[in-house]
Amino acid sequence: MLSLQPGPEDAPFPCDDCGGATYVLRGGVRDGARDRAVYLAARTEGHRPIAIAVSLGRFGEGTGPGDRLVVTLLARLEEEGIELMAVDPERCPFECAEVLGRQLGRADALTWDGIDEVFQIAELVANQDPRVKGWLALTAMH
Ligand SMILES: [Zn+2]
């Protein structure tokens, strides 16, 4: 059973491209008593989708960056629900710390057997971190 542990929010910074204020927040995902994933989410004013990066693998004592992989997703709300798209890491406004693991490009992410769990975790984050849920609501077209 996966459970969410919302974490801290970074100080906002301007987008490299358009200067829009970018907000980044963090959190963790536990599978029972075990740390399973770390996530970062970002919203930039003036951009429609939000970005969610998920670092999935083994955490804790005796583990290192080689025990996890990072996938970057763009997320937005459509009439049918949350739409998630795996993208290359350059498409996201923040840089993931090396300690989170190796970042996969879109093509590698889509053929990785962990991708289903990444999408599952991203949906959990989108539904259960109230901050991310609020950001997603802003991406809906009216
Ligand atoms: Zn921008």
- pLDDT average per 10 residues of sequence, the chain (142 residues): 94 94 96 95 96 96 95 96 95 87 97 97 96 96 74
Give the pLDDT confidence score for residue 91 in this predicted structure: 87
Residue 92 has a pLDDT of 85
Neighbours of ion ligand 1 (CB under 5 A): 15, 17-18, 20
Question: How far away, in angstroms, is 64 Cα from ligand 1 center?
Answer: 32
Query: Residue 142 has what pLDDT?
Result: 65
d(CA 24, CA 37): 17
Residues 6+ apart with CB under 8 A from 66: 101, 102
